[in-house]
Amino acid sequence: MAPSSATSPAADRSGAQLSNTKTTVEFRAALVAMAIVALIPLGVSNPYWLGVLIVSMYFAILAGGWNLLAGYTGQFSLAPATFAMIGAYTTGLLNHYFGVPPLLGIVAAVVVSGLVGLLLGRAVLRLVGPYLALTTLSFAEIMRLVASNSIDITRGDLGLGVAGLLDSRVGWYYLFLGALVVLLILFYMLLRSKAGLFLQAIRDDEVAARRAGVNVVFWKTAAFAISAAASGFAGALYAHFAELVTPELGLIGQTGLIVSMTVIGGMGTLAGPVVAAFLVYVLSEWLRDVGGYQLVVFAALVVIFARFFREGLWGLARAAVQRWGRA
């Protein structure tokens, strides 16, 4: 990682500029990748592969949101999939029982998951490392058990039928892509502002950040809430795309996928996790056809990347470009 992430947040000008340049480069790279993704439906009309790409975008939003919390703020939550599940059930239950239209339900999902994230973030404020991981893991499992055992309300593991929103798969494709790009722009604006420096300062040294006047309580909780709201948004969109909500959305394995994508792409980079979400998910569909080795491969990749290439694919790509530039 570049020594950019200002250790002293008190607007060290050069540090701030360096961090902004880094974020801007990553943002542009992410936009280029999204532009390529936008062109894919021109050549691919197979609904199966379009579906695969739509699910990739769902994971890209989740990975991006989790990266804001884990990669930029250093709060390693194991509950991103749970917030997607909470968002999906919010709009799902509103739609199923009260006939609330999907668009309104999605807004409600963002608000509800954001609020739950706010509460959880406030509760785990002082926990770090393994304590935080275990608390969020148990929160995730409790929520999933509640969703799958409240059979009278949620129909348990059978899943809850939800109204659709669009008829055409290409329409869904561009809706998800639009959502992803909007979130990327919001994250970019957030990270380029002072808030971005505050978050990274908290990650690098919480005590120093507090001494330098960063409102640590506020920003840590805010990062939790924003990340949860983004996950809830993705979950709600997905609910109307799949027209079904099940507790499986909150499985630990789903969180495992989100973590894999972020680690392989590069934690704490804007572009890495989003691009890796596409690579990992599309590759996994392809490997499933070849012999079902997708999860073995990913788990091994996560361990190898975490152990040897801790800046992920983004770090590898940057190193390659630099070497090429020098030669």
Partner 1 sequence: MSGIDVDLAVNGLITGLFYALMAIGLSLIFGILKIVNFAHGEFYMVGAYAYTLIALALGVPVWIALPLAFVVGALLGWLTERTLMRPLYAGYTSWGLMRDEYAVIVTFGLSLFLINFVDKVIGPYAYRGPPLVETSRVVLGPVLISGHRLLAAGIAIAVIAITAALIKWSFWGQQIRAVSQNRLGASLAGIDTAKASVIVFMLSGGLAAFAGALLSPVINASPDVGIFPAIKSYIIVVLGGMGSVPGAIIASLFLGVIESFGAVYISFQYRDAFGLILLMLFLLFRPQGLFGEKGREV
Contact positions vs partner 1 (CB under 8 A): 1, 70, 74, 76, 78, 123-124, 127-131, 133-135, 137-139, 141-142, 145-146, 149, 203, 252-253, 256, 259-260, 263, 267-268, 292-293, 295-296, 298-300, 302-303, 306-307, 310-311, 315
> Do the Cβ atoms of 231 and 254 come closer than 8 Å?
no
User: Residue 141 or residue 285: which is nearer to partner 1 going by CB?
Assistant: 141
CA-based nearest residue to 63, from 277, 222, 233, 268: 277
Q: Is 155 left (phi over 0), alpha (psi -120 to 50) or beta?
A: left
User: Residue 182 or residue 304: which is nearer to partner 1 going by CB?
Assistant: 304
Min dist CB 182 to partner 1, Å, is: 28
CA-based nearest residue to 197, from 213, 183, 184, 185: 213
User: Residue 51 or residue 256: which is nearer to partner 1 going by CB?
Assistant: 256
> Do the Cβ atoms of 70 and 228 come closer than 8 Å?
no
Min dist CB 130 to partner 1, Å, is: 4
* Cα gap 101→238, rounded to integer Å: 15
301, two tokens: 């990749």
Min dist CB 91 to partner 1, Å, is: 25
User: Residue 41 or residue 156: which is nearer to partner 1 going by CB?
Assistant: 156
* Cα gap 33→181, rounded to integer Å: 10
Min dist CB 6 to partner 1, Å, is: 15
Min dist CB 170 to partner 1, Å, is: 34
Min dist CB 136 to partner 1, Å, is: 9
Sign of CA dihedral 124, 129, 130, 134: positive
User: Residue 95 or residue 260: which is nearer to partner 1 going by CB?
Assistant: 260
User: Residue 59 or residue 233: which is nearer to partner 1 going by CB?
Assistant: 59
Greatest alpha-carbon span in the chain: 66
